[in-house]
Structure formats: C-alpha cells, structure tokens
C-alpha cells in the first residue's frame, strides 16, 4: 500500500454514496473498503476488508489470471486504463454472472495505487441450474455472454447466428432485458412464418381499405415495438421485395403503413437471428448485401450444444424443472452418459423434447436408459442433420468414455427392443433401421441371442 494514504478516507466515503456494489482494492488484490451495496448483495452483510478479491468472489487461492480467467486488475496494471470483464461470482444467492468495471486510481506521484471495482449482476444469466434465463459455465457460453453484456447497453443492431434450437430468441430477450429499453416492449417477428403478401402489413401496419379484407386500420409490429426491441427471427427468410423496405426503415428510421402516404418515425432497437448462411445467400442472390451490413453491426455466434462442454448437466436439471415442475426428477449415471455421447443436432430444443418424453416414460424419480428413445442410444444410424462431418461428430463424443458403459447401453436398448417386439427378426431390423444380418451379429456380440430366440423367427 502506498505510504501516502490521505486519499483513502475520501475514496471510502465516495464509495458509500454509490448505489451499485463497489470495492476498493490495492495492487495486491487486497480489499481496503467495500460499500454497503456490496456488503448486502455480494457478502451477505459480512465484512470483507483485508481479504483478497479473488478469494471473496471466486473462492480461489490465487489471482484470477493464474486460475484460467481474465483478471481485470492484472490487465489494468498492464494497460494503465479502465478494464471491463464478465465473471462468474459466488454470491449469497449462488453463482451469478457479474459485469465488472475496474478503474485505476493514481497517487500523488502518478502511480497506480488502488483500484475501484464496480459490479453489476447480469440477471438474465446464471452459472447454476435455474428455471429462468440463460444457464451455462462453459468457455463457449461465457464468450457469447460477454458479447451480450458488451452490446446490450447500446442501441447497436445485433445479429445472432447459430443452428436451430440453440435458443436465439432467449438470447435476443436477454439483450433486451439488459438494455436501457428493458421496460419497453420486446416484439418478435417470425419471418419464416409470414408470406410475402402479409409481411409488409404485419410489420408496418396498414390503413383501412388498403387491400381486400382491410376493414380497419391496423398498427404494425414496428409500431408495437416503439421504444423497445424488434426481434426478427429467421431474418434470412425475408422475401427480397421486403428486404428493400426493411433496409429503408433501418437507414432512415422511418416507414409508411400500407395504403398511407404519412411518414412515421420508428424508435426501435433491432435484433436479428438466423441459422442460414447469409454470406452465401448474398453470393447466390438470396439476400441483400446492404441489408446484411445494416443488421450485422454486432454479430454474435451462438454455440451449438455439443460445443458447450460441461453445460449438459446444468441444462438437464433446469429443463427437468420446467417439463416436470411437480416432480424431483434426476438422470441415472448411465442415462447421463448416453446423452453426453449424443450429438444433439436439434440442440437445446431437442434436449428439452428428449427430457419431456423421458419424464412421461418414467414413473419414479430417476430417469434411466430404459426411459430414453432408442435413436438416442444408436446415434450412428441417425441422419447427420447438423451438416457436420464425421470427424466433428466424433469430437463431440467423449473419447475417454468407458467402452463397457457403451456396450451396456447397447445391450439394454436391444434387450428392450427384443422384449417388446412380437414380430419377425426382419421386422425388428427394419424397425431399428439396420439389416437383419447386422441385428443378428449385434444380438450375438451382446449375448442376446438366447433372449431373442423365443420371440424372433
């Protein structure tokens, strides 16, 4: 700590006037002061003075940058400037994502002596199982979340790109909820479900008599989103003729209702999403390049479920609370391993469907292999719906998973199929999507020929 400590009383007094959680640290990560907002929301009222910031927030024994995270204090010492990061902190309410803004404070000699750290919880996301908001702690998830935290306070247009089922609408809602427009409307436009003949009327509205059936004036979705956020879901499906009118809205901030000459001004923040390759569509003439540049001010790539290493158990626990809110369901170790091996081409949406089906099949409190659909246990016969190559699919499967576990998964699945089947071996093979010879070989390899002999001809 610097010898000249005269600024400290003023700094401490200043922190107490701030409504957001703040702490004052020295160069050695030691907390010198914490305001009431920090003590209440981050420390459950306990004193943290004298402890290190990394021990209080992360329960680490070493600074963040030595524990695999980005440390704002170390970065500020290097840059001499204010630094911002997104961290996962321990709080009295559990693990929460927190936006951290750290500012260096210099002494009378111009040297950095202290750091003021402001913390702002990101309420739309959590690092533990929760039935609300975004859930995850994988590196891919945290990188995406940090981008959301960066762009949300601005009015910049956001483009979310990712596979179907990755939760792009939930992310768009998170951008809205973390913005200054959070108390205004969040309006969703499903571009894939609007034919060209209705698109303009739905988005911009129409006047009475503008077309056959327009018996009354109707405000459009742009007007409904005034002051808030307009979310264009599957923006790649917008007809070319309508892309021009959308571009005019974004360039001028104005629009006209169908059948009207009155120019109306729009006050919206635009968030778009698509699973389609817009750059390729531009080359092929299916999407306007100028519109792409307008909606792509701040691109965010949404990772697929198979890229979110370690997030599966968190998502399973959260989704089970949603699909079976009145039951305390959990997965057996074997069932969890089976799901971890499955590539989930439909991502989180498919995972939810899988768990909802399993919850209906399960009468107890533990979902086992017998409650999972057979196509989950034989992913090698599924179509590659993700477009990924074989090497990508293999990398999504845990290479260190014990072989005996996989054999047991296959054995139990075949055993269930054989016991429930009342036809010929040929019919069972067709049901499983494999040849009769392959079925016989698998029954023999897994010691199930005797089980099948009594029921299969």
Residue 337 has pLDDT above 70, yes or no: yes
Please state the φ and ψ torsions of residue 372, each to the nearest 5 degrees: -95, 150
| C-alpha dihedral sign at 162, 166, 169, 174 | negative
CB 305 within 8 A of CB 348: yes
Lowest mean pLDDT among 154-163, 248-257, 274-283, 401-410: 401-410
Please enumerate in sequence order all residues whose Cβ is within 8 A of that of 163, keeping only pairs 6 or more positions apart, or say none: 275, 302, 304, 345, 347, 386
> H or E segment at 139?
helix 139-151
CB 399 within 8 A of CB 391: no
Mean pLDDT in residue range 57-75: 88
CB 254 within 8 A of CB 214: no
> H or E segment at 356?
helix 347-361
Residue 384 has pLDDT above 90, yes or no: no
Lowest mean pLDDT among 3-17, 36-50, 182-196: 3-17
For 149-184, give the DSSP string: HHHTTS---EEEE--TTS-HHHHHHHHHHTSTTTTS
pLDDT tens string 144-200: 999 999 999 999 999 999 999 999 999 999 999 999 999 999 999 999 878 877 888
**Who wins on pLDDT, 443 or 39?**
39
Instruction: State pTM to two decimals.
Output: 0.74
279 confidence band (pLDDT: 50, 70, 90): very high
Closest alpha carbon to 352 in 334, 364, 337, 339: 339
pLDDT tens string 111-126: 999 999 999 887 666 5
398 confidence band (pLDDT: 50, 70, 90): very low
Check residue 401 and give its pLDDT. Answer: 39
Mean pLDDT in residue range 399-427: 63
Residue 400 has pLDDT above 60, yes or no: no
Per-residue DSSP letter, 126: E
Give the mean pLDDT of the chain. 84
Mean pLDDT in residue range 440-452: 65
Share of the chain above pLDDT 90, in %: 53
How many CB atoms within 10 Å of residue 174? 22
How many CB atoms within 10 Å of residue 198? 11
Helices (H), 211-268: 221-224, 240-252
3-state secondary structure of 348: helix
Please state the φ and ψ torsions of residue 114, each to the nearest 5 degrees: -140, 170
């Amino acid at each position: 700590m610097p010898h000249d400590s005269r600024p400290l009383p003023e700094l401490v007094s200043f922190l107490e006037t701030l409504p957001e959680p703040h702490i004052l640290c020295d160069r050695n990560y030691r907390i010198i002061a914490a305001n009431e907002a920090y003590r209440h929301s981050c420390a459950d009222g306990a004193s943290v003075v004298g402890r290190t910031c990394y021990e209080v927030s992360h329960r680490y024994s070493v600074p963040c940058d030595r524990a695999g995270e980005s440390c704002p204090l170390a970065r500020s010492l290097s840059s001499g400037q204010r630094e911002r990061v997104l961290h996962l902190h321990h709080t009295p309410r559990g693990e929460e994502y927190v936006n951290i803004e750290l500012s260096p404070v210099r002494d009378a000699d111009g040297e950095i002596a202290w750091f003021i750290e402001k913390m702002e919880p990101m309420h739309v996301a959590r690092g533990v199982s929760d039935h609300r908001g975004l859930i995850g702690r994988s590196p891919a998830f945290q990188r995406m979340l940090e981008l959301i935290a960066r762009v949300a306070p601005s009015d910049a247009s956001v483009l979310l790109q990712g596979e179907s089922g990755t939760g792009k609408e939930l992310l768009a809602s998170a951008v809205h909820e973390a913005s200054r427009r959070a108390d205004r409307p969040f309006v969703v436009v499903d571009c894939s479900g609007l034919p060209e003949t209705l698109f303009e009327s739905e988005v911009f509205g129409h006047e009475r008599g503008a077309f056959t059936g327009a018996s009354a004036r109707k405000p459009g979705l742009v007007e409904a989103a005034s002051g808030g956020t307009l979310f264009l879901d599957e923006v790649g499906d917008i007809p070319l003729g309508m892309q021009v009118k959308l571009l005019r809205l974004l360039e001028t901030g104005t629009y006209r209702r169908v059948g009207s000459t009155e120019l109306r001004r729009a006050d919206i923040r635009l968030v778009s999403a698509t699973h389609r390759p817009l750059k390729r569509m531009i080359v092929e003439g299916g999407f306007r390049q100028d519109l792409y540049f307008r909606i792509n001010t701040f691109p965010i790539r949404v990772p697929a479920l198979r890229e979110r290493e370690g997030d599966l158990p968190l998502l399973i626990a959260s989704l089970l609370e949603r699909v079976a809110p009145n039951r305390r369901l959990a997965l057996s170790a074997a069932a969890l391993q089976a799901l971890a091996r499955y590539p989930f081409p439909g991502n989180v949406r498919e995972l939810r469907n899988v768990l909802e089906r399993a919850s209906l099949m399960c009468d107890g409190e533990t979902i086992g292999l017998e409650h999972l659909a057979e196509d989950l246990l034989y992913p090698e016969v599924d179509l590659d719906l993700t477009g990924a190559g074989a090497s990508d699919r293999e990398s999504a499967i845990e290479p260190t998973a014990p072989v005996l576990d996989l054999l047991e998964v296959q054995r139990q699945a075949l055993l269930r199929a054989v016991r429930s089947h009342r036809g010929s071996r040929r019919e069972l093979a067709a049901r499983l999507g494999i040849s009769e010879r392959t079925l016989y070989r698998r029954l023999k390899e897994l010691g199930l020929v005797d089980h099948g002999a009594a029921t299969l001809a």
